[in-house]
Amino acid sequence: MGLAKPVENYTQSEAASLAQQLRDQLADYSQAYYTQDAPLVEDHVYDELYRDLEQLEAAFPVIVTNDSPTQKVGGQVLPGFTKVTHEIPMLSMGDVFSEAELAAFDQRLRKNTATEIEYNVELKIDGLAIDLIYEEGRFVRGATRGNGTIGEDITQNLKTIKAIPQKLTRPVSIEVRGECYMPKAAFADLNQKREAEGQEPFANPRNAAAGSLRQLDAKVAAARQLSAFIYTIVTFDDVQATTQSEALHVLAELGFNVNPTSVVCQNMAEVQAFIEQYQGTRNDLAYGIDGVVLKVNDLALQRQLGNTVKVPRWEIAYKFPPEEAETVVREIEWTVGRTGVVTPTAVMDPVQLAGTTVSRASLHNADMLRDKDVRLLDTVLLHKAGDIIPEISQVVLDKRPSDSQVYAVPTTCPSCGHDLVHLDEEVALRCINPMCPAQMKEQLTHFASRNAMNIDGLGPRIITQLLAKELIHDVADLYRLTADDLAQLDKFKEKSINNLLNAIDASRQNSLERLLFGLGIRHVGAKAARLLAEHFQTLAALMASDQETIITVDTIGTIIADSLVTYFADSQVQTLMAELEAVGVNLTYTGVTKAQAATSDSYFNGKTVVLTGKLEQYTRGELKQLLEDNGAKVTGSVSKKTDALIAGQDAGSKLEKAQSLAIPVINEAGLDNYLAQ
Please report the DSSP string for 640-674 in residue order.
TT--EEEE-BT--HHHHHHHHTT--EEEHHHHHHH
Query: Quick check: 344 pLDDT over 80?
Result: yes
Show the DSSP H helices in 411-482 as ranges: 437-448, 460-468
What is the pairing mode between strands 644-647 and 665-667?
parallel
Query: What pLDDT does 374 receive?
Result: 94
Q: How confident is the model at residue 39 (pLDDT cuts 50, 70, 90)?
A: low
CATH superfamily for domain 596-676? BRCT domain (3.40.50.10190)
Which pLDDT band, with edges at 50, 70 and 90, does 597 fall under?
Answer: low
Q: What residues form DSSP beta bridges with 124?
A: 291
Backbone angles phi, psi at 343, to 5 degrees: -120, 130
CATH topology of domain 83-319: D-amino Acid Aminotransferase; Chain A, domain 1 (3.30.470)
The one-letter amino acid code at 93 reads: M
The pLDDT, as a whole number, for residue 265 is 96
Q: Cα 167 to the chain's mean position, in Å?
A: 27
Establish whether domains 83-319 and 437-582 are of one fold: no
Which pLDDT belongs to residue 78?
A: 47
Q: Cα separation of 583 and 580, whole Å?
A: 5
| Phi, psi dihedrals of residue 477, rounded to the nearest 5° | -65, -25
- Give the residue numbers of the binding site for Zn(2+): 413, 416, 431, 436
How many CA within 13 A on the CB side of residue 486? 23
CA 167 to CA 95: how far, in whole Å?
A: 35
Q: How far apart are CA 137 and CA 301, in angstroms?
A: 28
Give yes or no for residue 399 having a pLDDT over 60. Answer: yes
Residue type, 360: R
Asked if residues 381 and 392 have their Cβ atoms less than 8 Å apart, the reply is yes
What residues does 100 pair with on adjacent strands? none
| Arithmetic mean of pLDDT, 118-123 | 96
- Domain locations along the chain: 7-71, 83-319, 325-399, 437-582, 596-676
Q: Does domain 7-71 have CATH number 3.40.50.720?
A: no
630 C-beta neighbours (distance < 10 Å), count: 21
Amino acid in the structure at residue 559: I
**What is the structure's pLDDT at 77?**
47
CATH number given to 325-399? 2.40.50.140
Report residue 355 CA to chain centroid gap.
25
Amino acid making up residue 171: P
Burial of 581 (0-12, 13-18, 19+ CB in 10 A): middle
Q: Is 124 among the residues known to form the active site?
A: yes
Is the pLDDT reported for residue 74 higher than 60?
no
Lowest mean pLDDT among 227-241, 329-343, 582-596: 582-596
Average pLDDT over residues 282-292: 89
- Which helix (H) or strand (E) segment holds residue 326: the answer is strand 325-336
- Residue ranges of the binding site: 43-47, 92-93, 122, 145, 179, 295, 319, 413, 416, 431, 436
Torsion of Cα atoms, 601 then 607 then 611 then 615, to 10°: -10
Quick one: average pLDDT of 45-61?
Answer: 79
pLDDT computed for residue 665 by the predictor: 87
pLDDT band at 40 (very low <50, low <70, confident <90, very high): low
pTM: 0.55
Does 607 have pLDDT greater than 80?
yes
Per-residue pLDDT at 387: 58
Which residues, in sequence order, are bridge partners of residue 130? 144, 178
pLDDT at residue 131 greater than cutoff 90: yes
Contact indicator for 291, 318 with CB cutoff of 8 Å: yes
List 317's β-bridge partners, or say none. 95, 293
Does residue 599 sit in helix, strand or coil? coil
Of 221-235, 242-256, 566-580, 581-595, the range with the lowest mean pLDDT is 581-595
Backbone angles phi, psi at 202, to 5 degrees: -75, 145
Residue from 5, 124, 641, 657 carrying the catalytic annotation: 124
**Rounded-to-10 torsion of CA 38, 42, 45, 50:** 50
Query: Which run of H or E residues covers position 84?
Result: strand 83-85
The answer to whether the Cα torsion of 509, 511, 512, 516 is positive or negative is: negative
Buried b (16+ CB within 10 A) or exposed e, 607-626: bbbbbbbebeebeeeebbbb
Question: Model confidence at 565, in pLDDT bands (50, 70, 90)?
Answer: very high
Q: Cα 213 vs. chain centroid, distance in angstroms?
A: 10
pLDDT digits 0-9 by tens, 648-663:
887 778 888 888 888 8
Residue 147 has pLDDT above 90, yes or no: no
Write down the mean pLDDT value for the chain: 86
**Burial classification of residue 76, based on how many CB atoms lie within 10 Å of its CB (0-12 exposed, 13-18 middle, 19 or more buried):** middle
Report the residue count for the chain: 677
Domain boundaries 437-582, CATH class: mainly alpha
Query: Can you tell me the distance from the alpha carbon of 431 to that of 433, in angstroms, rounded to the nearest whole number?
Result: 6
pLDDT tens digit sequence for 452-502: 999 999 988 899 899 989 999 999 999 999 999 999 998 888 999 999 999
Other beta carbons within 10 angstroms of residue 640's beta carbon come to: 6
Q: Are 209 and 180 contacting, i.e. CB atoms less than 8 angstroms apart? A: yes
Distance CA 176, CA 131 (A): 6
* β strands within 136-224, DSSP E: 138-144, 150-152, 174-181
